Amino acid sequence: MEHLLKADLNRDWLLLMLIGALLVLGLLRYRFPRRMAELMLLPINDKYFALEGRQKGIGHPFNLAMLGVQITAFGLLLAALKMTRSATPELLNFALFIKGILVISLYLILRYSLDWVVGYIFNCQKILSEYRYQRLSFHHLIALALLFLLTIMFFSALSFQTLTPVILFGVIFALFTTVIYSVRRNSATLITNFLYFILYICALEIAPYALLYQAAMA
């Protein structure tokens, strides 16, 4: 069965990106079946953090591969957002996707570098490493859902202008939910360091997302 294509857009590179992401996910499911299963159940329970996910280093092959999927998914989202601001749909091209990838990658490098500096200065690396890993794990799930929604949007006759804001709202809501979860999970520690936590949220959570959006839309 042939997929539905909008006549005014070339989707060959999109198809390659999505197939590549699907292959990576398939390999991860084969190589780390239990870890993948626990990750998918993360919205229901947090066994992932106690069992397979106890290896919290971002250097673990599973996390590195899923981080690549994240960058791909959010790069596609930024490309779609940029396209909806233009009257010419042809702007959704590979170069725009590459720009989204670069913006996301730069954001992650700066974000985690600043996070590490804050942890070093205030001597709270252990607390922040736990918090980072929780966010990273939930962002894996958000990226999977985002890829699914973008696939529907790119390869159907549904309107970009209608779906893109809905998807963006869903992503923002999911990101906000991960912050709420981490706050609840680490409430005992955060209460004793409440002022630092508020500064952390404003400086390294809210502001970076706003700057990322502005940079992507520039």
Q: What pLDDT sits at residue 189?
A: 66
> What length does the chain have?
218
| Prediction pTM value | 0.82
Residue whose entry in the numeric block shows the structure tokens 């390294």: 204
Q: What pLDDT sits at residue 26?
A: 93
The string of DSSP codes covering 77-100 is HHHHHHHHTSS-GGG-SHHHHHHH
Q: Dihedral of CA 99/152/159/154: which sign?
A: positive
Q: Is 62 exposed, middle or buried (0-12, 13-18, 19+ CB in 10 A)?
A: middle
Report whether 83 contacts 89 (CB < 8 A). Answer: yes
Distance between CA atoms of residues 73 and 87, nearest Å? 23
Enumerate residue ranges in the chain where pLDDT < 50. Answer: 1-8
Residue whose entry in the numeric block shows the structure tokens 């990101």: 175
Report whether 164 contacts 86 (CB < 8 A). Answer: no
